[in-house]
């Protein structure tokens, strides 16, 4: 494909948006470097894969979106004999294998329709699970080293020596005479050795090795003589531990290097799958359709992909026997946007992407897309607008074939109109002879006649509303358009006498042609109006046919709202009451039980009973309102004949253990007991209170009732962030924020987020990790990789 054309059509912007849908830096780079396919079979196969993955996304099964670490650069390193990977590099390989395996499994699991080529692609991914197990035998999920037997004895010795060192340092700090000589009562670290921060004027009072002097000269960092050996022993043991870690990493690197070719193949196939997933995600986000393979260019309600909601849908058809379409019409009428839309659709289609259009859109596969759009005059290269156009057209005529799509904007402009028209027709002749698919825009009237007199050429126009003197941006096939330059000039405030004079200069013959075009457009509008009226009538009939279904859906939605509202209100009531009760209990525990405290408890219980009764009354009123609405709509669902009691038995009094039908929820239940304000009924796993008139006696079921699953929103809606920053917060505030984040993540379906707590003195870090360990909704958590924040940032994964 032509790079200049991709730039003119802004296909690089599409690529960048597509790359942003990927979860891998390597996949992003591959997407940006990828070229549209020119083989029809390969393009069709790619669209089939992307379509299958998109269907998988829309199947309702949650997509686990986990980023894939960048490991491609490590294969060259693994090829060097005796090399050892760094900890984060070895961990990244294990993480890539694990997450790549999950991606491949997700693509072919679930309830979506099986697509054989996609399954074949995932089945071709090599099995590297044994290598991943080897990596995670050494590493924890957060990337830290596990406490392997090889490390345990050394770490215990380091811990013992550290305790001895701390005790020795404490003897200095515990001495009143020495403590007044110190700038700080906390030992410092210099070059991995424990030292004391001594005031400069006391440096001779403590014998030892001076490691550093502060910038102000007020503090001297001294390692006392009697802890030198302790520091030496710790340093030796740490070097032993480093050497042991290096040995383990070398052994692991050797195992990975043995399977380097298999891992490299795994990496290549997973990145290819990630590229396909990114294309499916982008296609889903733009709500596009996959263009069917066609020998014709068929665009149905096509919307320019970069204009978003402001894009005006266009319809465009270029059949196989038409090689050239000449689009004419006013300035700012949408001619150039139509050209760019057609070109972008061709590039997107051959990149395996859906296009923002309606079903029925079809496109051929071109061996090249060439465009000359816009003004590329260059002062530095002594190119005028016309010269720049001719340079571009020259290269296009040389490269285009009978399988190419050529888009030429304002052909023949920028020079004498007569010569420009002649040159434009000669260029068209040449490209038509080469059987190129060609779309041209122009203002030259001569080319309108050319479109009528040449075979395989069709005129088209962008519609212009003569009443408002503004374009409608619709493309009308078969009819040339007028430039309407005089009308647009008048609309933009040019003096009336100038406009009148311009009309005189046009002449009568030109006016006759304009009248003919206007008449053709009027006929076309009448036909379009009739077609629209017929479409509206068909739509009205379809809507009436769906009316009953919509009524039922609305009622079910309202039922769900009542259930959710009831549970939410009771949760709020219970939360508030629990806090008050906890305060009362604490007061009772802290002192003697007095009459005043006893009265306060009774008042609380009385108030709680009144509030509960109020909530129950409100719920019953909502239930009555819903039943009234059901009756008003004529949709008051009655129990099926198979479940309803005979008329002679339906007036039987309700009793404990009786089976009933609850009309409001359309569920079968069992009466538990009679309450003050109604009957307590068990529906599946729920127990709810209903008035007697809401219950209907039911026949005894032969099979046990299935529990009814009621999905309710128990908490206020909150927004889950991908990254929670608790820096600067007190521990209590940070844990409250983390609690809200986890709740919001569970409700919104977010499975992974990060917490920035910093390193500091470790209070926030330790508090956050302790909280995460105690929360059963957390599947795992780990420190981030060094470049993402290291020990100052924790990545959290929730149980799905």
pLDDT of amino acid 297 = 93
State the pairing for strand pair 193-199/188-190. Answer: antiparallel
- Banded model confidence at residue 572, pLDDT cuts 50, 70, 90: low
Residue 46 CA to residue 398 CA, distance in Å, equals 30
Question: How many percent of the chain have pLDDT more than 70?
Answer: 77
pLDDT exceeds cutoff 70 at 779: yes
Residue 152 CA to residue 142 CA, distance in Å, equals 19
Convert 105-129 into a string of H (helix), E (strand) and C (coil): HHHHCCCCCCCHHHHHHHHCCCCCH
Nearest of 50, 8, 55 to residue 31 by alpha carbon: 50
Structural element, H or E, at residue 428: helix 417-433
Most confident of 176-190, 455-469, 739-753: 739-753
Nearest of 439, 444, 509 to residue 482 by alpha carbon: 444
pLDDT of amino acid 649 = 47
Residue 688 CA to residue 533 CA, distance in Å, equals 52
**Cβ-based neighbour number of residue 652 at 10 Å:** 10
pLDDT in tens, 122-171: 889 999 999 999 999 999 988 888 888 888 888 888 888 888 888 877 77
Residue 723 CA to residue 368 CA, distance in Å, equals 44
State the pairing for strand pair 368-372/404-408. Answer: parallel
**DSSP states along 244-290:** HHHHHHHHHHHHHHHTHHHHHHHHHHHHHHHHHHHHHHHHHHTT-BP
Least confident of 173-182, 228-237, 333-342, 520-529: 520-529
Residue 478 CA to residue 209 CA, distance in Å, equals 96
451 Rama sector, left if φ>0, alpha if ψ -120 to 50, beta otherwise: alpha
pLDDT of amino acid 256 = 93
Nearest of 401, 431, 409, 413 to residue 341 by alpha carbon: 409
Q: Which residues are 459's β-sheet partners?
A: 326
Torsion of CA 515, 521, 525, 531, to 10 degrees: 140
- 283 token code pair: 């296609």
Residue 104 CA to residue 577 CA, distance in Å, equals 50
Which residues, in sequence order, are CB contacts of 99 under 8 Å at separation 6+? 66, 67, 68
- Banded model confidence at residue 275, pLDDT cuts 50, 70, 90: very high
Nearest of 362, 346, 347, 344 to residue 290 by alpha carbon: 362
pLDDT of amino acid 709 = 43
pLDDT of amino acid 722 = 83
pLDDT exceeds cutoff 50 at 603: yes
Contact criterion met (CB below 8 Å) for 688 and 675: no
**DSSP states along 480-506:** -----HHHHHHHTT--HHHHHHHHHHH
Q: Give, in degrees to the nearest 5, the angle at Cα 715 between 711 and 718.
A: 110
State the pairing for strand pair 793-798/314-318. Answer: unpaired
374 Rama sector, left if φ>0, alpha if ψ -120 to 50, beta otherwise: left
Question: How far from the centroid of its chain's Cα atoms is residue 118's Cα?
Answer: 22
3-state secondary structure of 714: coil
Nearest of 108, 142, 81, 70 to residue 792 by alpha carbon: 142
Of 313 and 526, the one with more pLDDT: 313
> Mean pLDDT score of the chain, rounded to an integer?
80
**Cβ-based neighbour number of residue 738 at 10 Å:** 22
pLDDT of amino acid 632 = 60
Contact criterion met (CB below 8 Å) for 447 and 416: no
Task: Specify the DSSP class assigned to residue 644.
Answer: B
The greatest distance separating any two alpha carbons of the chain, rounded to the nearest whole angstrom, comes to: 115
pLDDT in tens, 69-108: 999 999 999 999 888 999 999 999 999 999 999 999 888 8
Contact criterion met (CB below 8 Å) for 330 and 485: yes
pLDDT in tens, 638-670: 444 444 554 444 456 788 888 888 766 667 888
Mean pLDDT of 551-578: 64
pLDDT in tens, 523-532: 656 676 777 7
Most confident of 344-358, 420-434, 723-737: 344-358
pLDDT of amino acid 33 = 92
Contact criterion met (CB below 8 Å) for 457 and 324: yes
- Banded model confidence at residue 250, pLDDT cuts 50, 70, 90: very high
pLDDT in tens, 9-56: 999 999 999 999 999 999 999 999 999 999 999 999 999 999 999 988
């Amino acid at each position: 494909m032509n790079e200049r054309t991709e730039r003119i059509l802004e296909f690089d912007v599409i690529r960048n948006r597509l790359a942003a849908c990927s979860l891998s830096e390597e996949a992003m780079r591959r997407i940006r470097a990828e070229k549209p396919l020119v083989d029809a079979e390969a393009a069709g196969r790619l669209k089939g894969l992307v379509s299958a993955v998109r269907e998988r996304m829309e199947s309702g099964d949650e997509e686990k979106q986990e980023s894939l670490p960048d490991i491609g650069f490590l294969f060259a390193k693994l090829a060097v004999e005796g090399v050892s990977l760094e900890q984060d590099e070895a961990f990244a390989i294990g993480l890539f294998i694990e997450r790549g395996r999950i991606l491949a499994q997700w693509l072919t699991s679930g309830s979506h329709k099986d697509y054989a080529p996609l399954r074949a692609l995932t089945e071709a991914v090599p099995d590297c699970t044994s290598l991943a197990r080897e990596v995670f035998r050494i590493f924890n999920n957060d990337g830290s080293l596990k406490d392997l037997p090889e490390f345990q004895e050394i770490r215990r010795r380091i811990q013992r020596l550290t305790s001895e060192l701390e005790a020795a340092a404490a003897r200095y700090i515990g001495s009143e005479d020495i403590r007044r000589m110190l700038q700080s009562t906390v030992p410092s670290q210099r070059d991995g050795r424990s030292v004391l921060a001594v005031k400069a004027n006391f440096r001779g009072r403590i014998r030892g090795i001076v490691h550093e002097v502060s910038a102000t000269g007020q503090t001297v960092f001294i390692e006392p003589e009697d802890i030198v050996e302790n520091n030496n022993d710790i340093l030796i043991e740490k070097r032993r531990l480093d050497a042991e870690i290096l040995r383990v990493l070398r052994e692991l690197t050797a195992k990975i290097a043995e399977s380097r070719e298999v891992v490299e193949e795994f990496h290549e196939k997973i990145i290819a799958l990630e590229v396909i997933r990114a294309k499916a995600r982008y296609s889903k986000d733009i709500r596009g359709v996959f263009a069917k393979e066609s020998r014709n260019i068929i665009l149905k309600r096509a919307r320019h992909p970069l204009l978003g909601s402001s894009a005006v849908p266009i319809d465009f058809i270029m059949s196989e026997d038409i090689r050239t379409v000449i689009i004419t019409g006013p300035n700012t009428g949408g001619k150039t946007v139509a050209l760019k839309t057609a070109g972008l659709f061709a590039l997107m289609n051959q990149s395996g992407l859906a296009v923002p259009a309606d079903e029925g859109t079809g496109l051929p596969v071109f061996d090249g897309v060439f465009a000359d759009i816009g003004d590329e005059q260059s002062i530095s290269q002594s190119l005028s607008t016309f010269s720049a156009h001719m340079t571009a057209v020259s290269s296009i005529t040389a490269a285009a074939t009978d399988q190419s799509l050529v888009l030429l904007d304002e052909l023949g402009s920028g020079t004498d109109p007569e010569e420009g028209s002649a040159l434009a027709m000669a260029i068209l002749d040449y490209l038509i002879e080469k059987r190129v698919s060609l779309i041209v825009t122009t203002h030259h009237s001569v080319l309108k006649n050319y479109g009528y007199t040449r075979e395989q050429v069709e005129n088209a126009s962008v519609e212009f509303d003569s009443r408002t003197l503004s374009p409608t941006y619709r493309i009308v096939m078969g009819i040339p358009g007028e430039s309407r330059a005089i009308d647009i000039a008048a609309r933009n405030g040019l003096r009336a006498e100038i406009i009148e004079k311009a009309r005189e200069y046009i002449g009568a013959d030109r006016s006759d042609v304009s009248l003919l075009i206007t008449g053709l457009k009027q006929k076309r509008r009448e036909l379009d109006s009739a077609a629209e009226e017929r479409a509206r009538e068909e739509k009205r009939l379809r809507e009436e046919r769906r009316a009953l279904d919509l009524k039922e859906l609305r009622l079910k939605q309202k039922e769900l709202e009542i259930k959710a509202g009831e549970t939410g209100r009771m949760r709020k009531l219970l939360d508030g009451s629990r806090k008050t009760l906890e305060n009362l209990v604490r007061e009772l525990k802290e002192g003697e039980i007095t009459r005043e405290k006893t009265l306060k408890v009774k008042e609380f219980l009385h108030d709680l009973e009144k509030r509960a009764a109020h909530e129950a009354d409100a719920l019953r009123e909502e239930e009555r309102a819903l039943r009234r609405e059901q009756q008003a709509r004529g949709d008051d669902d009655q129990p099926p004949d198979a479940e309803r009691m005979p008329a002679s038995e339906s007036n039987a009094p309700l009793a404990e253990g009786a089976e009933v039908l609850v009309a409001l929820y359309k569920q079968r239940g069992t009466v538990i007991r009679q309450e003050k304000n109604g009957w307590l009924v068990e529906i599946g796993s729920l127990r709810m209170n209903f008035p007697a008139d809401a219950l209907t006696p039911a026949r005894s079921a032969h099979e046990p009732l299935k529990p009814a699953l009621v999905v309710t929103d128990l908490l206020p809606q909150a927004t889950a962030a991908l990254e929670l920053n608790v820096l600067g917060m007190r521990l209590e505030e940070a844990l409250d924020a983390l609690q809200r984040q986890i709740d919001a993540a569970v409700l919104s379906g977010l499975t992974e987020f990060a917490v920035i707590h910093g390193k500091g003195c470790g209070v926030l870090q330790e508090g956050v990790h302790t909280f995460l360990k105690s929360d059963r909704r957390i599947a795992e958590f780990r420190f981030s990789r060094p470049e993402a924040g290291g020990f100052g940032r924790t990545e959290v994964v929730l149980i799905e």
